[in-house]
Structure 1
């Protein structure tokens, strides 16, 4: 059923809000998936905290034009397109990669991705899947920040242990 002009305007407005609120979007080609495969894929995305839905290319393009910054993705808006919206940059790529490995299918195929202002093309799935999550990056930074403190504490404890050992040895010699 065709959308009315009002319905299209509402859909474009909702997409604009979604694009502004979500730092990561992936455009995928899902053509050729059965209903069962598509539902399995959609469930995996949901489990990973990713919203995955089919959107008309013209509506998505209109929303992208109004928001701005998505011009490099316009060439990828052809054929059947499903969009994955995510807060986590690597989550959609990891779901797609794992799904492709487990099913030996060629779909869904990455058409392009927009991650915090950077545009990735169809050949970037491996690189996107290898990105660390924000929590992993924060953990790495904390580890780097805490390493010097741990070294200082360890050094102080070792020196204190050496001092106690030396005093104990001197005390034992004094008694003998």
Structure 2
């Protein structure tokens, strides 16, 4: 039986983790067992720079924290080695970075599952998020789409004006 002190430390950790899970818009669970120290250091740096919280977590503690936070649908992958990436706002960046790592690792690093707004999503759905364009790219595409009809209207008006000035001469 664990001592009261150890039990209290674990309970505090689970409560803190549950709070992080509640605040997160997105989370990705990965199996990191085959990643090298050098690759892990690069991955952690990239995630940190993107504002993503990434850490190794014990499966039993994550299961309890997920229950407390109301995160559903991740229990079935809580076995083996597990690391968790949490993003508070952006639901695309974490999957994108972790998918890139999975592709580069040739199977030694793998995405297990994820969650968005407290609901579990499959590995395929995490990969689908990873393949989405970035927010900046989407905004640029939107501006282009909004600008295009106005640009075509301006060209049409200009052509009409040219024809009228030619017929007046």
Bin of the TM-score, shorter chain as denominator length: 0.7 to 0.9
Normalised TM-score (structure 2): 0.81
Instruction: Tell me which residue corresponds to 1:43.
Output: 45
CA RMSD, 1 decimal: 2.5
Query: Do residues 73 (structure 1) and 74 (structure 2) align?
Result: yes
The verdict on how the C-alpha distance between 1:117 and 1:17 changes in structure 2, with shifts beyond 3 A counting, is closer
Deviating beyond 6 angstroms after TM superposition, the runs of 4 or more aligned structure 1 residues are none
Normalised TM-score (structure 1): 0.78
2:61 counterpart (59, 62, 67): 59
Query: Does the 8 Å CA contact 1:89/1:131 hold for their aligned counterparts?
Result: no
CA–CA separation in structure 2 for the residues paired with 1:166 and 1:125: 61
What per-residue deviation string (whole Å, max 9, x for no partner) do you get for residues 142-167 of structure 1?
A: 33333222222222122122222333
Compute the displacement of 1:77 (Å): 1.2
In the alignment of these two chains, the number of paired residues is 165
Instruction: Tell me which residue corresponds to 1:121.
Output: 122
Structure 1 unpaired stretches of 5+? 171-176
Compute the displacement of 1:28 (Å): 0.3
The verdict on how the C-alpha distance between 1:99 and 1:156 changes in structure 2, with shifts beyond 3 A counting, is same
Instruction: Tell me which residue corresponds to 2:131.
Output: 130
CA–CA separation in structure 2 for the residues paired with 1:160 and 1:5: 81
Instruction: Tell me which residue corresponds to 2:101.
Output: 99
CA–CA separation in structure 2 for the residues paired with 1:75 and 1:12: 19
What per-residue deviation string (whole Å, max 9, x for no partner) do you get for residues 35-92 of structure 1?
A: 3332222123223332211112222222211221x22111111111100112322322
Query: Does the 8 Å CA contact 1:48/1:95 hold for their aligned counterparts?
Result: no
State the structure with more CA Rg. Answer: 1
